[in-house]
Amino acid sequence: MNSLTELHLDALSEVFNVGAGRAAASLSDIVGEEVRLSVPSVEIRKSSEIDVSAMGLQSERFGTVHQTFSGSFEAEAILLFTEEHALEIVRDMMGSQISLEDLAEFEQEAMCELGNIILNACLSAMADMLNIPLNCSLPDYTVATTEEIFRRVSDDLDQPYVLLLHIDLAIERRHSEGHLIFLLSSTSLKGLIIQLERFLGAV
């Protein structure tokens, strides 16, 4: 029941591809430049198996935006940005005349907004393509070390499955890696598989 077929993963990749495309269009409008996207990769892991190598994380500290999704299935979404690049993106959003020091004041709010745009783009793509209603909570933003993130993921016994999405977002010369983690309970993973089967069955 916890096995997604290659076709399921392909369908999920496509859903997130559409989501990332929408997010990039919004980001591009905000920063006034083209945002380049990598082809997203998706995998399902047991949360107990998650570590630095599984995630391929290069940085030790991340800006993390957290939101809860609910609807046909429930998931906790955590979006990770390398902290330094996060501030640069915020500066692009606010206008480059603001110094990095002054930005700290806006960081919380701007990162929540950034996370909100990206997570909602993915959410709306999933809701539209799978034809299911999905809601999400308001975002909250924290800066965390990789260790803190993994502890949080692996300690969550109610949600033993992790859907990992890796995508690179590059804004002009700045290269920022975004990682999106979805934590799913067994019931929610079943729910997601049912929705994917329904979507594939309709093709």
Partner 1 sequence: MKKILIVDDSKVSRMVIRAHVKAVHPDWEFFEAGSGEEGIKSVIENKPDYCTMDINMPGMLGTDAAEQILQTSPHIRIAIFSANVQDTMQNRATSIGTIFVAKPVTEKSITIVLNYFASE
Contacting residues toward partner 1, per CB under 8 A:
7, 10-11, 13-14, 17-22, 24-25, 28, 34-35, 37-39, 125, 128-129, 200, 203
Residue type, 11: A
Total number of residues shown for the chain: 203
DSSP H stretches of helix in 5-61: 6-31, 52-55
Q: Which is nearer to partner 1, 153 or 196 (CB)?
A: 196
- Smaller CB separation from partner 1, 149 or 180: 180
Q: Judged by CB, which is closer to partner 1: 31, or 189?
A: 31
CB of 130 to partner 1, least distance (A): 10
The DSSP secondary-structure symbol of 48 reads G
Kindly state the smallest distance separating residue 85's Cβ from partner 1, in Å. Answer: 19
Q: How far is the CB of 9 from partner 1 (least distance, A)?
A: 9
* Beta-carbon contacts of residue 122 (< 8 Å; ≥ 6 apart): 15, 16, 19, 20, 23, 77, 165, 180
Would you tell me how many other CB atoms lie within 10 Å of the CB of residue 59? 15
The residue (of 28 and 142) whose beta carbon lies closer to partner 1 is 28
Q: How far is the CB of 108 from partner 1 (least distance, A)?
A: 27
